[in-house]
Structure 1
Amino acid sequence: MSNKNKETNKNTTASSPTKKVGSKPRAKTLNMKMIDKQFNDLSKLTTYTLDPKENLVVKYYEKFDEVKIQELLQLAYKHLEYVREKELPYFQSDDEFMIFVQYLIIYKFATVVDEESEDFEPHINIMNKLISTGLYRVFLEDIFDPNEVMKVLDRLKEFQNLIEKIGALTFETQKELESTLQNKEIIDGAFGKKNTDNPIHPLVDPYGDESNGKI
């Protein structure tokens, strides 16, 4: 090998950086500047082109605000209770309710709906139109970040678990009272049951039906 080639190989070897296998990046301390940046990113709208020929675009939030996620879940369960109360033919299965929750993701994190509404019927109408036109699928499969959508579904699961725990706690509390207290009228009043023969004392049942002459 010539001296020239040796010199070239030597220089190449010397200039190659040595990396440690499994080395971690330099630690960074979280500060308010970083938090402010993350917070500001939540309000930034991103543009997605639906039709390049027509220059048809839609704007959406790339990062999902946790506060808006909680508002979304509260709205979803508000409508669920409304459907149950009115005995409407919706949400016959968990899958149907999940479709509605995913619609609310579009409602909350894209600028498709011009006016916000708390009523159930307008939401069903908009959701059906999005599904029929294929835009529902486009939003969930092409536009939104799957990790952000999964974040909402994870929060939904946490929300459901919390409701189940509260329900179980209420049931256990009622059973404990029934086994401990001897006065059944007090128990019935505490859990909303009416004793038509013996009116409950107002301190026990403050929400009694006064219009019928009962406390």
Structure 2
Amino acid sequence: MTKRETKLTLTDIRKNVEELNKKQKFYIDKDQGKFIYYYPKFSKRKITILINELSHTMSYVEQHKLDFFKNDGELNNYILFLIIKHFTDLQAELKDKSIETHFAIMNELVDIGWYELFLIEMFTPHEISNVLDELSKRLNLSIKYLTLEKELKGE
């Protein structure tokens, strides 16, 4: 038995977007009732915003000669922190804070064990992979453009 075909409608689109914008509670400590709201599904638009922020942060760190991103591990940890930031209610609290504050909060989350808790228990590996895959695609595209630019200049 085959499924009946149906034409895509605006209602279908809106229903899927509503699903992306639904927040859920994640209990950090149920006994104390401590929770955070988070997005279980990551929208492409929010992933793009996250990647743009990463690019801005990397430029800022380089321009101000800050002692961050000394190795790939630190960069990876910050990318994962941005996932926590952008897909939880921490986004609103960190919105106007300095990059230095972001690094401090990331380290505090690590120290109290919530960084790992959020990444392992709150978010699905699939959603985290979507962010990392998009980041990888954009990096590869940038490398291709740089290579093409060098070829066009005859380098």
The one-letter code of the counterpart of 1:108 is H
In structure 2, what is the Cα distance between the partners aligned to 1:26 and 1:150? 33
CA change 1:31–1:104 in 2 (3 A) is: same
The match for 1:57 is: 35
After superposition, the C-alpha distances for 1:122-174 in whole angstroms (9 at most, x for unaligned) are: 11111111111111101110001221111000001011111111221222222
The match for 1:90 is: 68
Summarize the alignment of residues 152-167 of structure 1 with structure 2, pairs less than 5 Å apart. Answer: 152-167=131-146
- Structure 1 unaligned regions, length at least 5: 1-22, 177-215
TM-score, with length taken from structure 1:
0.66
After superposition, the C-alpha distances for 1:40-81 in whole angstroms (9 at most, x for unaligned) are: 122211011121211111110111111110010011011112
Greater Cα shift, 155-164 or 167-176: 167-176
Which structure's relative contact order is higher, taking Cα pairs within 8 Å and 6+ residues apart?
2
Instruction: Give SS of 2:18's match.
Output: helix
The structure 2 residue matched to 1:35, chosen from 13, 20, 34, is 13
- Shift in Å at residue 25 of structure 1? 5.2
RMSD of aligned C-alpha atoms? 1.9
Aligned residues: 154
Instruction: Give SS of 1:91's match.
Output: coil
The one-letter code of the counterpart of 1:150 is S
Instruction: Give SS of 2:84's match.
Output: helix
Specify the structure having the higher radius of gyration (Cα): 1
Instruction: Give SS of 2:90's match.
Output: coil
CA change 1:139–1:25 in 2 (3 A) is: farther
Instruction: Give SS of 1:44's match.
Output: coil
CA change 1:29–1:118 in 2 (3 A) is: farther
In structure 2, what is the Cα distance between the partners aligned to 1:91 and 1:163? 20
In structure 1, what is the Cα distance between the partners aligned to 2:100 and 2:69? 13
The structure 1 residue matched to 2:52, chosen from 74, 78, 81, is 74
CA change 1:51–1:164 in 2 (3 A) is: same
Instruction: Give SS of 1:30's match.
Output: coil
The match for 2:150 is: 171
TM-score, with length taken from structure 2:
0.89
In structure 2, what is the Cα distance between the partners aligned to 1:90 and 1:115? 18
CA change 1:118–1:67 in 2 (3 A) is: farther
In structure 1, what is the Cα distance between the partners aligned to 2:94 and 2:66? 24
The one-letter code of the counterpart of 1:148 is E
The match for 1:120 is: 99
The match for 1:194 is: none
The one-letter code of the counterpart of 2:142 is I
Percent of aligned pairs with the same amino acid: 31
In structure 2, what is the Cα distance between the partners aligned to 1:84 and 1:90? 9
